[in-house]
Structure 1
Amino acid sequence: MSGFFRRIYDWLLRMFWATEMDVTMIGLQNAGKTSLLRVLAGGEFTYDSIPTVGFNMKRVQKGHVTLKCWDLGGQPRFRSMWERYCRGVSAIVFIVDSADASCIPVAKDELHSLLQKPMLNGIPLLVLGNKSDLPDKIGVDELIDVMELKEITNREVSCYAISAKEETNLDAVLQWLIGRAKK
């Protein structure tokens, strides 16, 4: 298909068959949520992201699907807001710094506490072990174990190792999310 016809085809898809889905990205501070969202939205990775205060929202266009991504602050004072922004979304994305072993038990407790909320039952969960490019990171199998993801039974759960910096596995993340778009 020539470039001109591809653009018309893409425009028609967006106009008549477009799907918009809400996705909430949560995780402890410094896990890489904002960096990941910036890269997914087509921007550059930067080392100097300032901590998110409250929340950000960005739209990520992938074919005929628009992901409306909510990026919530991960500091303790913002964690009580997580449930409100997770209600009714197409997917919850929980990001873990897989190279910081000291934060993983807290991340596990926060995730399991959040998933106890009845309003969130059944919402698919994608856990991302970010910073897979760093030497002291843990792998996916270990992350599944330490985060006790096999204990979560009231929803679909998937887990990937990613690197926002190296853009590792981001296509798989987008494909997983698009697969959960409500038609």
Structure 2
Amino acid sequence: MLLEWLRGLLRLLGLWKRDATILLLGLDNAGKSTLLHKLCSNELRPFVPTTKAHSKTFSLGNIKFTAWDLGGHEQVRDLWEEYYSGADAIVFMVDSADRARFGEAKREIQQILSVEDIADVPILVLGNKIDLEASVDKDQLAEELGLDDLEKERDVEVFSCSLVSGSGYYDGFKWLSQKF
């Protein structure tokens, strides 16, 4: 009891380091690998499509994240479930300028939300590529993905971001960090 109180106090003061495992999910070409690289090295570079799961570790504030980039091609999406049990959070990335794939992204995020084992896991949705003219804002993206009403029932939050300009994703991780 005293140990939990002390941990809580240290967390409140920002002196307690916490570890968290996150899953980077979403369709291919949404920017998951680019995000992970940017979070680890603060560099932007192109990536070939992810063919197998890999993880990297980075720290933001008092949280040391281990992030699993699981790929987004249709053939690998069935493997996502194998990683759910160890997840403290999910980051679901969407190309907010690729309107033709919103229906596919909606099916995938709704499938994730239907898994009872992760009902208490917070989900950060990042609508990437807002620097592109065809992109939609976070409210429209939430509506397209069927999340506009769900945010009240589940711990889900949508943020718009651009990895190219470096905007928005940090705010999303700040929100996510408050969930631990």
TM-score (norm 2): 0.86
Q: Distance in 1 between matches of 2:124 and 2:34?
A: 17
Do structure 1's residue 161 and structure 2's residue 157 form an aligned pair?
no
In the alignment, which residue of structure 2 is the partner of 1:131?
129
Post-superposition offset of 1:52: 0.6
**Number of aligned pairs?**
167
8 Å CA contact retained: 1:26, 1:74 = yes
Aligned to 2:76, the other structure's residue is in SS state helix
Counterpart pick for 1:101 among 86, 90, 99:
99
Deviations 1:67-122 (CA, angstroms, capped at 9, x unpaired): 11111110011101112212242211110000111111100011101221221112
8 Å CA contact retained: 1:22, 1:68 = yes
Unaligned runs of 5+ in 2: 1-12
TM-score (norm 1): 0.85
RMSD between aligned alpha carbons?
A: 1.8
Counterpart pick for 2:63 among 62, 65, 72:
65
Aligned to 2:27, the other structure's residue is in SS state coil
Aligned to 2:79, the other structure's residue is in SS state helix
Q: Distance in 1 between matches of 2:105 and 2:92?
A: 9
Unaligned runs of 5+ in 1: 1-12
Q: Distance in 1 between matches of 2:113 and 2:34?
A: 24
Post-superposition offset of 1:155: 2.1
Post-superposition offset of 1:17: 2.6
Aligned to 1:41, the other structure's residue is in SS state helix
Q: Which amino acid aligns with 2:156?
A: V
Do structure 1's residue 171 and structure 2's residue 173 form an aligned pair?
no
Check 1:85–1:154 CA distance in 2 against 1; reply closer, same or farther (3 A cut).
Answer: farther
Q: Which amino acid aligns with 2:137?
A: G
In the alignment, which residue of structure 1 is the partner of 2:53?
55
